[in-house]
Structure 1
Amino acid sequence: MTISRRWVSALLIGAALALPASARADEVRVMISGGFSAAYKQLVPQFERATGHKVSTAYGPSMGTTENAIPVRLNRGEPVDVLIMVGEALTGLTEQGKADKASRVDLARSPIGVAVRAGAPKPEISTVDALRTALLNAKSVAYSDSASGVYVENELFKRLGIEEQMKGKARMIPAEPVAAVVARGEAELGFQQISELLPVAGVDVVGPIPESVQKITIFSAGISSKAGSPKAGAELIAFLASPQAAPVISKTGLDPIAHPAAK
């Protein structure tokens, strides 16, 4: 079923929240990556109470080849109605015919941040020179196997002119939050989206990397091309993109993307 942009836009007014629980309650099956998960976990109970729908969730990275990665789940044929993931990765799925392009809604912007083990000294990272020095001084560095980590590995180190120096002490972490590795003391510095660093106990978030070398990740949602409950799925997306959801999204380290009301 193809969901028109006009219909999705109309839902973004907040009608899904204003209406009483649906006469017919549906199950909405969701696959979601880590960056939007903290906000999502707080918002889903509100959506279920407002609509009567029930949401079941599978978690995994937006990209990569680990067992729980969303593309791998889809290739296994796992059922899903809504995909919430890095926008670039969702674009790839729409190009493969696995998601409905017209249903896509961008939900939030997410900056890359740095974390250290709780109680450890926080390095200065507010300027490019300071970030470079912090990386050179660190004994070990970890970064994710999703969008932020791909940028760190393929672009950030090169832009800082320290690609060679980072070899041997910087590594990509598959299928686990980078902050968990830092909390165990297995990496001195951890790089990931701030929204993924904040929920993990045992680390302190130093802050975002400087704007001139920052890469903002867009988290987006869309309807699976094989959705069994596309209308209820679109209601969930509309709720997550609504003004009512914005304060929760902001508290989890994300910048919610405002959507104009449909006319």
Structure 2
Amino acid sequence: MIASRILMGLAVLVGLWTAQAAQIAHAGEATVAVAANFTAPMARLAPEFEQATGHRLVLTHGAVGKFYAQIRNGAPFDVLLSSDDETPARLEQEGLAQPQTRFTYAIGRLVLWSAQPGRVDAQGTVLRRGEFARLAIANPKVAPYGAAAVEVMARLGVQATLAPKIVRGDSITQAWQFVATGNAELGFVALSQVWKDGQFVAGGSQWLVPATLHAPLRQDAVLLRRGQGNAAAEAVIAYLKSDAARRVIRAYGYEF
């Protein structure tokens, strides 16, 4: 009886080792260019993806405008998770992305945020008062969230008066850093940088910018030409459409 139980236990272990070995043998690697605003969600999604699929991800975070230039110059990315829908469409038109792989994985929200409590009111009238020295935004030439911030200021009629106070970060991450470190009293950042699981978690004060004040921050993913035939890259595209991934994305304030 004892011997049979030992043999059964060994058989189970061998089965587990065999399954694990098979998974490792079929595991691949994908290099993913990730929009800066999606840094926090991707930090949660990546290990869950790797555990579920056995594939490994190499992540690079940054501004989509810079990614576009790098991809055109041969950067070794397999997948692009953009902060807009125009860049993936342009890459597809230029033959640098695989047709029929592009889809919207998230719709972002813009927030006016200050690390100082009481600095930003719930209606954003602080922008009209102008009682601050520096306002941080992402570079609108390379970052859609920066372009959205400019659009909001124009719609509110404060763009000209605030222009001398604007400091531009290379990405939405740097814009957030300017505010978090006090180098700017307030700034336009992504909701995902200050929100998690249904509440603001960054402290300070904030105004959730109405989505009607700027063009939708529709974020598209696409399989790049280099990722064609790469099982890991194709798995990334599929995983982002899963219920498990969408639960994480929604937790950071994104919509679909």
TM-score by length of 1: 0.76
Distance 2:161 2:51 in 1: 52
Distance 1:123 1:57 in 2: 34
Instruction: Assess if the C-alpha contact under 8 Å between 1:112 and 1:214 holds in 2.
Output: no
Instruction: Assess if the C-alpha contact under 8 Å between 1:179 and 1:203 holds in 2.
Output: no
Map 1:1-263 onto structure 2 (within 5 A): 21=23, 24-63=26-65, 69-86=66-83, 87-117=85-115, 119-126=116-123, 130=125, 132-133=127-128, 136-145=130-139, 146-153=143-150, 155-175=151-171, 176-198=173-195, 204=204, 206-227=206-227, 229-255=229-255, 257=256
Distance 2:95 2:146 in 1: 26
Structure 1 outlier segments of 4+, above 4 Å: 20-23
Distance 2:27 2:117 in 1: 49
| C-alpha deviation, 1:164, in angstroms | 1.8
Instruction: Assess if the C-alpha contact under 8 Å between 1:126 and 1:210 holds in 2.
Output: no
What stretches of structure 2 of length at least 5 have no aligned partner?
Answer: 1-21
Deviation digits for residues 141-174 of structure 1 (CA, Å, limit 9, x no counterpart): 1111210111322x22221112221121123211
**Amino acid across the alignment from 1:123:** V
Distance 2:67 2:203 in 1: 27
What stretches of structure 1 of length at least 5 have no aligned partner?
Answer: 1-19, 64-68, 258-263
**Amino acid across the alignment from 1:183:** A
Instruction: Assess if the C-alpha contact under 8 Å between 2:34 and 2:59 holds in 1.
Output: yes
Instruction: Assess if the C-alpha contact under 8 Å between 1:125 and 1:131 holds in 2.
Output: no
Instruction: Assess if the C-alpha contact under 8 Å between 2:148 and 2:214 holds in 1.
Output: no
**More contact order relative to length (CA 8 Å, sep ≥ 6):** 1
Instruction: Assess if the C-alpha contact under 8 Å between 1:239 and 1:245 holds in 2.
Output: yes
Instruction: Assess if the C-alpha contact under 8 Å between 1:32 and 1:84 holds in 2.
Output: yes
| C-alpha deviation, 1:187, in angstroms | 1.1
Instruction: Assess if the C-alpha contact under 8 Å between 1:131 and 1:209 holds in 2.
Output: no
| C-alpha deviation, 1:42, in angstroms | 0.6
TM-score by length of 2: 0.78
Distance 2:99 2:192 in 1: 26
Q: What residue number does 1:16 align with?
A: none
| C-alpha deviation, 1:30, in angstroms | 0.8
**Identity value in percent:** 23
Q: Tell me the number of residue pairs that the alignment of Structure 1 and Structure 2 aligns.
A: 226
Larger radius of gyration: 2
| C-alpha deviation, 1:178, in angstroms | 1.2
